[in-house]
A and B are shown apart, each in its own frame.
Chain A
Amino acid sequence: MIETKNLEFSYNHGKENEFRVLKGLNFSVKKGSFTVILGHNGSGKSTLAKHFNAILLPCGGSCFVEGLDTKDPSLLWEIRKRVGMVFQNPDNQIVATVVEEDVAFGPENLGVKSEEIRKRVDNALKAVGMYEYRKSAPHHLSGGQKQRVAIAGIIAMEPEYIVLDEPTAMLDPVGRKEVIKTITNLNKTMGITIVLITHYMDEAVGADRVVVMDGGEIIMDGTPREVFRQVKALKDTGLDVPQVTELCYILRQNGVDIRDDVLTVDECREEIIKIYNKHSAKGQKYD
């Protein structure tokens, strides 16, 4: 479990231009779960995520990874081994000129033995579907492929948690799908705990839990269905809902008795057809 207790954080702490971002946040991520954090720019979501592997340290309160206090410098390696991070721009995360060397970079730095590295690199590349590109040069890959290599580099360190900060923001729709499929697969088959920060609401639909942040605080927390049904509240904080959820919301506003927690096109199709068939059957009775 990752847990924050009364976590406070300010940029420029103690200086004149101090900017408070997190104001006593209590939050936890259960092992094995898939959590999505939503929130507009400046809501504090990246700041929170950077506490999970001690890139940022609390100004007040604490952050624990499996009980390890991130403020204790002697635990830094233990924490970073457990929690890997993937960032927005794949080009900033790739260090080597050959894919498999890039993936080996992490375990090498952890002092893993050569044969073990070989095994881990191959497995990691297979896990993200990039094994056949192991000898390629990263700059010849597409954005989605590069991002999957970056994720493989994290997997090779065998972390228990992977925190991804808008990993799809710079990708095209095909690349986005590849990356989300990869992440979902790591969670479901390898049991790696995922924390995904995103602006794309459709990427949140498959998560176990959606957390919405605003002004450094958590304002909603629940399953995707529980959160997305609050269409108006989400729009008020500057976020979106999936198009089909919005459609159902408008239909409800206009007196149609349709579920308010519809998330996917197929669910929505089923609901509307049910209502439509009922309606036309009624119409025929009166004829």
Chain B
Amino acid sequence: MIKITNLNYVYSAGGPFEKAALVDINLNIEKGRFVGIIGHTGSGKSTLVQVICGLLKPTSGQVLIDGKNIYEDKNKKELRYKVGLVFQYPEHQLFEETVYKDIAFGPKNMNLDEEEIKRRVLYAAKVVGLKERHLEKSPFDLSGGQKRRAAIAGVIAMKPEILLLDEPTAGLDPKGRDEILREIKELHKKENLTVILISHSMEDIAKLADTVIVMNKGKVHMMGSPKEIFAKANELRQIGLNAPSISELCQKLRDDGMPLPPNIITVQDAAEEILKLLGKL
């Protein structure tokens, strides 16, 4: 479980470009949750995940993972293996001669034996849908989508208990996007992994997350289930976000007097409810 109390983060504290990126954040994220974080650019989402994974030390406040402070020296190593972060455009960080070596880099640094490393590389490659024939290639000979998968596999191979992903599908085509998200969702279910996903796609968040955190101006603006959050389309619009267009449609149909339930967030749900009202189900 992740427990964040009174967290503040200020960039260039004391300097002329001082900027408060996170303001008094209090959050509890239980184990096994699939959390979606949304918010427009500059709302603090990326800063928040970097604080959670131990890359940025909070200016004040605490981050506890399973009750331990991640910024206490004695906990650092253990907790950083528990939390894995996939950055935006993670393929820019590929550097090894082969895909195998690149995925093995993390586990190797954990001082695991060769057998275990191999097991983990094969496991991680399988999770992200890379074939064994890809493993001996140079990562730079892969396609864009495959590079992205290789980079994600490198984090999964460390078997984190908490997986943070910062826009993992930016720039991918719809098919590649759906595949990678499906793989993450499966991993989440199978391993009871806690997943925290930053995305600009409300549609993806609506499909995947069980909890949504809405960030605005460095604060947690709202938190709740996707149905609760996306029912507040007007409030989201005020802070530069949109509900999925299907929620927007259903809201308008309700305004027109159609008795649809207030919290429809997927196309399937919308179709089902409309068909019921039309007597087709």
Contact = CB atoms under 8 A, between A and B. Distances in A.
Q: Which of A39, A88, A199 has the most CB of B within 10 A?
A: A199
Contacts of A202: 245
Interface of A: 39-42, 88, 142-143, 166, 169-170, 172-175, 199, 201-202, 238-240, 242-244, 246-247, 250-251, 254-256, 265-266, 268-269, 272-273, 275-276, 279, 283
Contacts, number: 105
Interface stretch (B132-140, B158-166, B216-224, B248-256): B248-256
A167 B271 CA distance: 33
Interface string B255-281: 010100000000110110011011111
Contacts of B249: 243-244, 247, 265, 268-269
Interface size class on chain B is 35 or more
Given A42-B143, A172-B200, A243-B203, A272 B258 contact: yes
B171 A254 contact: no
Contacts of B274: 247, 251, 256, 272, 276
A250 B245 contact: no
A276 B258 contact: yes
Contacts of B267: 243, 246-247, 250
7 contacts: A41-B172, A142-B42, A173-B242, A174-B41, A239-B173, A250-B268, A256-B280
B280 A238 contact: no
B279 A279 contact: yes
Which 9 pairs, one residue from A and one from B, show the smallest C-beta to C-beta distance?
A238-B175, A250-B271, A40-B173, A240-B174, A169-B171, A172-B41, A243-B246, A41-B173, A269-B252
Contacts of B144: 41
B241 interface: yes
A150 to B, nearest CB: 17
Contacts of B246: 243-244, 247
Contact of A247 (B172, B240, B271): B271
A265 B174 CA distance: 21
B170 interface: yes
A250 B41 CA distance: 34
A265 B246 CA distance: 8
A89 to B, nearest CB: 9
Contact of B173 (A238, A246, A250, A251): A238
B244 interface: yes
Contact of B200 (A173, A242, A250, A266): A173
Contacts of B32: none
